[in-house]
Structure 1
Amino acid sequence: MFQVVQEQFNRESDLFFLDLQTLGAGAEGWLVLDITAASDHWLLKHHKDLGLRLYVETEDGHSVDPGLAGLLGQQAPRSRQPFVVTFFRASQNPVRTPRAVRPLRRRQPKKTNELPQDSRLPDDVHGSHGQQVCRRHELYVSFQDLGWLDWIIAPQGYSAYYCEGECSFPLGSCMNATNHAILQSLVHLMKPDAVPKACCAPTKLSATSVLYYDSSNNVILRKHRNMVVKACGCH
């Protein structure tokens, strides 16, 4: 991967080397490339952003078309589009942009720019298999159904809610994802068999009051913490 430093008319452009990855012919998954140096330069000099250039070569130095090598570009389904991940921090130090990620599929014996028909993914920004993204769902807990009304006076039940949904990369702001969840999702893209996706879980809980009899048959009113899910997110 190179940064285009200066475009030259009628001859090769000036390029700045960024990163190199060595892959086997049968490799598949996401190809991750470090473009931090280029992003730092662009942040300081916005008008110098001339883009990136990707080259694929064999071990003996022969150039190979990225599409024929298995790299998917702008014609790929939305879930396999190349993207850049940027981390910002509030400091005077240069902002780090650690990775540019491009999808890679296994090379087929017949050279082709298209994915096999059975491997195409739907253009679904909400996650795989059409599943909804992580969010809060309705759940009413009935103390009568639990057989607790012999000691609980009130209420007879309450809306507890629960969290369910998919935490697939990229994690949007609506998913309330932690930094750890974002990084775990990135690693999952590269090693799906070794690292699971982030999990949908409560990020904010509230209390609810319960009037009940204690073991001495005294009437107690107590506010119990973390009883109601107020918000969900990816963890």
Structure 2
Amino acid sequence: MNFVLVFSLVLGEVLCWPHAGVYIDNGLNQTIIDREMTPAEKREMEMEILNLLGLPERPKRVSKSLKRSAPRFLLDIYKSLMEEENGGHRSERSADLNLSGDEQNAIDESDVIMTFESINHHVSSVRHERGKRLWFNVSEMPIAENVVGAELRIYQKEILSPKKARNVYTVTVFELVNTDSGERELEYISAVNTTGSFTGWLNLNLTACLPTWVAFPDSNKGLYLSVHPVDKPGREIRPEDIGLITAKGPDETHPFMVAFLKASNHVQPKRSIRDLSSKRRVRKSNYVEMMLNDNPHYGSTCKMYDLYISFKDLKWQDWIIAPTGYSAHYCAGECKFPLNGHMNATNHAIVQTLVHLMNPNKFPKPCCAPTKLTPISVLYFQDDTNVILKKYKKMSVKSCGCH
């Protein structure tokens, strides 16, 4: 039977819960508490996991509904990624989400996908007033992230007018920029054609302007959305005339921007995370040693055991959308001579074992360690308007071996 280690931490307003701690499988089909954690240890554990997730602090509680367009979009992507990991096919994912080839490639290439809901933001008038102005707060996006792509997603519902439904329209997005004279002008970003009978999401490429907004926040004056009939390019009409939902409407059709990002190797949170003191390091090291000595499987042959991290027990379900937790697993046991095939030993481990047998006081035995690690994806609210889907590398052990 596998040794099951569950971090069951209760934080925040219920820190005094008497049974928060580390649970183990006692080998009798029972899970028992191995050691209760003090309130300080529970806060420390929370900070360590937040540090691992790259977050400087616990995001504030969010009351936003998952019915809103941005979190629904990322939740669908999250579910499709999970289905693909479980044997699904990429073509099925693209078809279900109506993803283009470029969008599919951006999802696969990115480590972080962020969404930004449009916000009412005062912008001085421009020359064209039949269109709509949109603004997105991208100030929380790390500067060091590499932008793979960005797009505006705006929903269109079918026009009831038979004449307008047959027409073809060009939807163009412009960036609002300041000229040298201080006046505000429009700079072309991208465009897409649609018909009045179309129902669904329109995607407009914003990759050209997002890096500038992030590097120079003051340059973010927003976007201007313009609609013209293809046969009458000089005539601008209101976006609402072809069924575009730009502001008012159901939560599930609210316009939003999505950014596909590739994490830099040196990305740091905007607010510093306090480092571990040497005292804390020693205490954790002593605790790990104590756990190993008490582990009923300590001394057995190297192999993989169960370890489940519960976000729900951390009371993080108010900001983490999915998953409720994940199977991290861990490697434990000894690398004893002879190193059999099931130990997945490296050639170096075999040589080290032989040297250890000749001089055990000078040369240690090989260590039992992961040989394969896989990523996990976590979907969470960053704040009331932004949602993030982030892939964390090397989070789950898939196999163990002697090194």
The normalised TM-score by structure 2 is 0.25
Larger % of helix: which? 2
Q: Which is bigger in relative contact order (C-alpha 8 A, separation at least 6)?
A: 2
